[in-house]
Structure formats: structure tokens, C-alpha cells
Amino acid sequence: MLSNEYIQQKLTEKFDDQLIDWQEPYGMLTFTAPKELNLKVLQFLFDDTELNFTFLTDLQAVHYPDNKGAELAVVYHLHNWKENIRIRFKVFTDIQTPDVFSATALYQSANFMERETYDFFGVNFVGHPNLIRILNVDEMDYFPMRKEFPLEDQTRIDKDDDMFGR
Amino acid sequence: MARPVQYNNTIKFEGIPEGYMGEGFMATNFEKVVSLARKNSIWPLPFATSCCGIEFMATMASHYDLARFGSERVGFSPRQCDLLMVMGTIAKKMGPVLKQVYVQMAEPRWVIAVGACASSGGIFDTYSVLQGIDQVIPVDVYVPGCPPRPEAILDGFMKIQDLVNAEGLRRRHSDQYKDLMESYGIQ
């Protein structure tokens, strides 16, 4: 009953042309929204009785170092329980001012997921009740999942460089 | 009519320490007696975090029995245990927790680092894994392997027994031990 075309149609009716980049990789509808609208889109998808996307499955970020001006993408995966439809929507933000509105008021699960995204990518969620590091050591001052940070621990002194191919 | 024992008839027994025996008494070195008692009744604390913990479970089970070495009772409270067996990857966030567990143990205490991750970080050379627990607590025996076979864990355990036997009673009060604890920041 609810199909990807119908969802796309309803969203474009409400938000006109602000939602761009409609794709369907592996059958999952994906679109991009400007970052100021992310809460409005989430609220619309939550409240609408036909669309009914009331489950935030995942909230993550991706770092694209080559996309100047839009390096960090915050990705939301939403799920409709009744019709078993999933959609994904992305919000791009600049790495110098990585502020995105927090979805905690709408979805409780966003609380921990946004803390994890902050911990690893440095995305500042505006309006989050307790935005501190969750999985890493509290004193860490860098964001490990950004592409510029090395995988290995740089403070080791006992590893022999030529044995490890460096 | 009883059948003679056919299996398990070559059991190795611990001998009594040498001393001067007489009618109803025996005089020997106190350290020898205490070491003998300590080494054959070590109560381990299994701090099993990941895959090496599974190998430890196999070691404690009936086939590779750890109980034959006197460790029938494993305790999960550091206040009641002698040997801290750290088995598995320790993250940097877990480091202070491990140190707290070590500090709660009463003297004499030994630590065995089982597996590659506990000894040196293993294959996880990343921002989140502690590269060896000896960065936070002093370790007595390292058992390499990923994971080490139960026989290897038992071998490490027997080396701990040798250390316990040779330790003596005064080590924990010596200056060198105090310096070691200072270097780790443990009072």
C-alpha cells in the first residue's frame, strides 16, 4: 500500500524542492535534506498517519574529506513498523561548523546514537541533553573516525617499524 | 571383590619438603611449608573479557581441568583471590577499572596476562585498545597465543606456581617491590 513513489510524492508535496538526490540503492529510498530542515522532516515523517515512520533505526555520520563545504554527512535510517518500509535520509554539514539539530526530543534512541556520532566524528548536536563521549576515553581530544586520524596508536615506542611494514 | 585400578595410576604427588624428621615431629624451613601450601591452593580471579575467556572456560572444564592444580574455587571477588587472570582485550576505558580490581586484591597477589591482547594489545593496534595490561598493573606471567590453547594456559599457571614456590615471605615488604608499586602509581 505504501510504496517508495508514494512516500516521495508526499514528501515533495510538503517540502517542495528542498529534498534532493532521490535514489533507491537496493530498494531503500534515500534522499538528502538541508541541515536546517532535519527536525521538520523527521517530525513530518513521525506524525503523518499514513507515513508513520516512528522508529529511528540508526543515526550515523560519514566523513567525506573531498566534499569541501559538506564534509560530514549525518545519516538517519527510519522504519515503519506497520508496513515494513525503511527509508534513509542524509543531512550534510560543514566540518568547520558541524552543528546539527538533535533528534532527542522526538526519538529517545537518538540520545546514545548522537553521543556516539559526536564521540567519533565531532558532530555537535544542538539541543542534546548530555553531549559527552560515550565509548572512548573521556580525555580524548580528537575524533577517531575522521579520515585524517591514523588507526594505530601513535604513542607506542616498542613497535619495530621495519617489521611492521612502515 | 574389588577390581584393581587400571586408569589414573600414575598420579604425581607433591613431596614433603626436606627437613629433620623425628618421632612425632618434623623440623623444616617455614618458607618451604608456606610456599608449598600457597602454590597448591591458588584461587584465581578470572577477568575474562573476550575470546581468551572461552579458552579459560575450556581450561576450567573437565578435560583440561584447572582444579587439579588446586584452583577448584574460582572467586569473582578480588578481595578473596590470589591470582588475577586477565584474559582478553582490555580497552583504554577499561584500564582504570582493571587497576581498581588489582588494588582491591590482598597481598600476596599475582597477575597472569593470558593471550596476545592482554600481553601487548594483540592485533588491535588502535586508538581504543590498551597495548598490554602492563601499562596499568604489574604482570608476573604472560601467556602468548590468540587464543592460547588450554595447555598453554595451564603451562602459564604452572609457571605462576613456580614463582609462588620460589618467592619467599619477605618479598612483599622489600624496597624493590615498593618501588615497583610506586612506578605503577599503586599505594
Instruction: Tell me if A10 sits within 8 A of A41, measured CB to CB.
Output: no
> Is residue A156 situated within a structural domain?
no
> Hunting for cell 573476550 — which residue is that?
B50
Question: Mean pLDDT lowest for which of A17-26, A113-122, B81-90, B141-150?
Answer: A17-26
Reported confidence tier of residue B169, pLDDT bands at 50, 70, 90: confident
Q: Is the Cβ of A152 closer than 8 Å to some Cβ of chain B?
A: yes
Quick check: B115 pLDDT over 70? yes
Q: Would you state the pLDDT for residue B105?
A: 92
Query: What distance in Å separates the CA atoms of residue B115 and residue B149, rounded to the nearest whole number?
Result: 10
Q: What is the DSSP letter of A20?
A: E
Q: Which residue has the higher pLDDT, B32 or A164?
A: B32
The verdict on a CB contact (< 8 Å) between B128 and A159 is no
Question: Mean pLDDT lowest for which of A148-152, B2-6, B98-102?
Answer: A148-152
The verdict on a CB contact (< 8 Å) between A153 and B127 is yes
CATH code at A137?
3.30.460.80
Q: Would you state the pLDDT for residue B131?
A: 86
> Is residue A82 situated within a structural domain?
yes
Grid coordinates of B55: 579458552
pTM of structure: 0.82
Reported confidence tier of residue B153, pLDDT bands at 50, 70, 90: very high
The verdict on a CB contact (< 8 Å) between B127 and A159 is no
Q: Would you state the pLDDT for residue A164?
A: 63
Domain count, chain A: 1
The phi, psi pair for B27, rounded to 5°, reads: -110, 120
- Name the fold adopted by B41-153+161-181: Rossmann fold (3.40.50)
> Hunting for cell 571477588 — which residue is that?
B77
Q: Is the Cβ of B149 closer than 8 Å to some Cβ of chain A?
A: no
> Is residue A166 situated within a structural domain?
no
Quick check: B152 pLDDT over 90? yes
Query: What distance in Å separates the CA atoms of residue A47 and residue B174, rounded to the nearest whole number?
Result: 71
Q: Is the Cβ of B7 closer than 8 Å to some Cβ of chain A?
A: no
The verdict on a CB contact (< 8 Å) between A144 and B125 is no
The stretch B31-59 carries a mean pLDDT of: 91
Query: What distance in Å separates the CA atoms of residue A74 and residue A94, rounded to the nearest whole number?
Result: 11
> Is residue A162 situated within a structural domain?
no
Grid coordinates of B99: 587497576
Instruction: Tell me if B138 sits within 8 A of B132, measured CB to CB.
Output: no
**Which parts of chain A have pLDDT scores under 50?**
none
DSSP string, B143-174: E--SSPPHHHHHHHHHHHHHHHHHH-SSGGGS
Host domain of residue A132: 4-151
Locate the domains of chain B by residue range: 41-153+161-181
> Is residue A60 situated within a structural domain?
yes
| Number of Cα atoms under 13 Å in the Cβ half of residue B113 | 24
The stretch B109-123 carries a mean pLDDT of: 91
> Is residue A164 situated within a structural domain?
no
> Is residue A83 situated within a structural domain?
yes
Q: Would you state the pLDDT for residue B44?
A: 93
Residue B154's CB: how many other CB atoms inside 10 A? 18
Reported confidence tier of residue B159, pLDDT bands at 50, 70, 90: very high
